[in-house]
A and B are shown apart, each in its own frame.
Chain A
Amino acid sequence: MTRTEAAPAATTPTLLDPTPAAGDVPRFRVDGLGVGFTRGGTHRQVVEDLSFDLFPGRCVAIVGESGSGKSVTARTLVGLTGAGSTVTARTLQFQGRDVRRFGAREWRRTRGAKIGFVLQDALVSLDPLRPVGAEIDEALRLHGWGSRRSRARKVVELLDSVGVPSPALRAAQRSGELSGGLRQRALIASALALDPDVVIADEPTTALDVTVQAQVLDLLARTKERGVSILLISHDLSVVARLADEILVMRGGRVVERGTAQQVLTDPQHDYTKALIAAVPGEHTRGTRLVPPPAGNEAAPVPAPRAHPAAPDAVLEARGLVKRFPVAGGLRRTAVDDVSLTLHRGRTLGIVGESGSGKSTTARLVLALTAPDAGDVTLLGEAWSTVPEPRRRTRRRSIAVVQQDPLSSFDPRWDVERILLDSLPAGHGDRAARGRRVRDLLAQVGLGEEVLPRSPLRLSGGQRQRVAIARALGAEPTVLVLDEAVSALDVSVQAQVLDLLADLQERLGLSYLFISHDLGVIHHVSDEVLVMKDGRVVERGSADDVFLRPREAYTQELVGSLPRLADATHRPTTDRTPGATR
């Protein structure tokens, strides 16, 4: 059954009205909220002096990176802060009542019925062993709603209302059997089951593909139009731009900036907010640094837009790659279907696609970690995928990889120094020479010697990724494959790493195969782009061509679904052709 997105009411405001209707009473009133954790004698203050009011039909967004305290705030508002926590506030009221006085029973009555909560990644936020219908049913049952039969009907109704096709069939399936978008909708359905007044959404779109993300945000927008208050937590400014009326930017537990969405996004006051906005890669940031050099270091050159030699040679070529995998149920899934690509020296080829598009499998084929079922790969002009492993091994140094999760790619017993020493080619010289080279590698990625004796477990995400890059460089490769290498990093850290990668490419003449689901990142780093869907290359061309003038319907849809910061000023009506929002 087709679900048509109902066009909003005839009169669509183009300018936001920041003030709530007079006479409205805030559903949530928070003033001076502080949350701290005491563990083993040490006390850590995680949230300090947070205040906001949540009115009916409005959306407040809390934006911050990891460690900012935003998720803790969300949990505190439903009384699930966790063990060893202390919650202080001047005011903490829900619908006029002080929630600090709520006992367990009062909370059980409130959660689910009056406050709905949506977590990220429905694959693990819904019990993977139970059908999603049972999860929604639980919300109803816990509050004594209806009989078993009427609940079953209501479950189907709810799934239908959030746009799940064949709802009766879906209700009997488990979250693992549904696609990302469908299960996130099911999760939202369980939160909306009892028509709560407030919905708290903690990173509701983070695990989703761009197109699906747009649909989920639309769903939340419609919920808001019905008069539900939404508290939206996210690390992504562009995601909240679509929904938020008011934005709070948190850092280290404190609010560093607040205002209407329009104010914060178009005219940020605080340096952190400005840096956050500037750090988002995209079309406008191509060829520039995402992170401004520290003050006083103006001598650091801004890399010029890459000057390309007339006809650079091809360092990596893949022709007609095919790869199939057996899948539960007896089928074989074609993960990569006739994919060809060419990477030229000194350039960056970006591969963008949603989950299941086959980009990571393509990376593995290019790295010769698996053999293709058909097609071949040529590295530096010589056969690569068809050569037996022992002969190939000596040439492996020419191509290196940086993965999304560096931690699992390090031997858990080794410290940084050993990891880097291991990456040097055999016979690199005596111990002193090797030690010098390791320090040299660290300097190239912007790390100091103090990390050498440390275990990667004690490094931050950004530092770990730098070590991974250093290790890849230790082999002095020509090609570097970056498989979602920045996807797990905070925006500001991601910006630093992207700048670093740009520097390295300039200095060392590396060629990058950059794989990501993040269109902004791909647009920022790539010279040429491949768009993949369901294992096939849907479109290819220069970055600007693909993103600004997409030819294929899928690419257009992909680009059109991308949330933009400018959405705050224009609530989308019906037209979303790319370029129209500028």
Chain B
Amino acid sequence: MTTTTAPTTTAPALARRRVLAGRPWTLYLALLLTAWFAVSALWPHLLAPDDPLALHLDSALAPPGVHHLLGTDEAGRDLYSRIVHGTAPALAIGVGASLVSLALALVLGGLAALAVRPVAAAVDRVVEVLFSFPSLLLALLLVALLGQSALTEAVAVGVGTAPGYARMVRGQILATRGSPYVEAAVTLGHSRRRILRRHVLPNAVRPLVAVFALSVGQSIVWASSLSFLGLGVAPPSSEWGALLDAGRLYLTHAWWLTIVPGLVIIVLALTATTLGTHLQASLERNDR
């Protein structure tokens, strides 16, 4: 145990955080893409005026080219239009799953950290058990139980990813609760509830902002995995999922049916992650 280190008056280095937040151009790109996705979801006809379900059987399975920007599927439907029009349901499932996931995580993690000792220990064990199931398997279990529907998909993905976040919430709350500034508040004579409200919860939840953004992207990826396995939802509830599901059959001669939607999903996930990281960094910058 050391008694003292060399005296210093400099503030700790925060440069690393800024590096991780990325260059500003990533933020601008992410905002641009978010705008694109938002417009696709709300007014798809602005970006893809053609009817996505219109059949052009004579140009079925056409590769990306001049007439059809991203190619066509097995029934000649334009892939680009299908993707644009499918943004809304995909986002709905992703955001829905994230909300389910985070709500569960906050409740479970909060209980595991703050409740009375026996309750907290029990909840902690439950979370650990759930955490031992991989997210996808947990989701599959729920789909097997509840059948295939949009709601099930959202709930399944949400429940599948919740245990990991619950552990994070619990860890954050415990770390915050044991920190020196909480102790300082105790010496000032503040009540437990006041400390919880003014110190513990805000500081614990703060880092989770980025996590929420991340989870939206992650949820969409998981949901698409379910669709790829054929366990997702039938269209029109989930266009992207249907594309992936159908695309499996035509892997070798119509690769764009799977690769392109997958690419869109990846871009959406990365956009969400970038937004979250920047949001987190700017929240922390405001502390300075």
Contacts and interface: CB of A to CB of B under 8 A. Distances in A.
Q: In which size bucket is the chain B interface?
A: 20 to 34
A355 B9 contact: no
Chain A contact residues, majority secondary structure? loop
B287 A207 contact: no
Given A207-B2, A209-B3, A457 B288 contact: yes
Interface string B178-198: 011101111111110000001
A488 B8 contact: yes
A410 B10 contact: no
B186 A408 contact: no
Interface of A: 65-67, 120-121, 123, 180, 203, 206-209, 235, 354-356, 367, 369, 393-397, 399-401, 403-405, 408-413, 422-423, 455, 457-458, 460-462, 471, 475, 484, 487-491, 493-494, 517-518
Interface in B1-19: 1-12, 14
A396 B189 contact: yes
A67 B190 CA distance: 38
Chain B contact residues, majority secondary structure? loop
B187 A401 contact: yes
Contacts of A369: 183, 186-187
A66 B9 contact: yes
Nearest to A468: B184
B203 interface: yes
Rank and list the top 8 A-B pairs by shortest CB-CB distance, nearest first.
A396-B189, A461-B9, A207-B2, A409-B184, A408-B180, A517-B3, A355-B1, A490-B7
Contact of A411 (B10, B11, B203): B203
A83 to B, nearest CB: 12
A65 B287 contact: no
A484 B181 CA distance: 17
Interface string B146-183: 00000000000000000000000000000000011101
A37 to B, nearest CB: 13
A394 B5 contact: no
Contacts of A208: 3
A209 B287 CA distance: 37
Contacts of A413: 202-203, 206, 287
B199 interface: yes
B288 A455 contact: yes
Nearest to A360: B1
B180 to A, nearest CB: 4
A369 B8 CA distance: 28
A207 B3 contact: yes
Nearest to A422: B188
A67 B8 CA distance: 8
B9 A493 contact: yes
B189 A475 contact: yes
Contacts of A394: 189
25 contacts: A65-B7, A355-B1, A355-B2, A367-B187, A394-B189, A396-B189, A403-B180, A409-B181, A409-B183, A409-B184, A411-B181, A411-B199, A412-B203, A422-B188, A458-B11, A458-B288, A460-B9, A461-B8, A471-B184, A475-B188, A484-B3, A488-B4, A489-B7, A491-B7, A493-B9
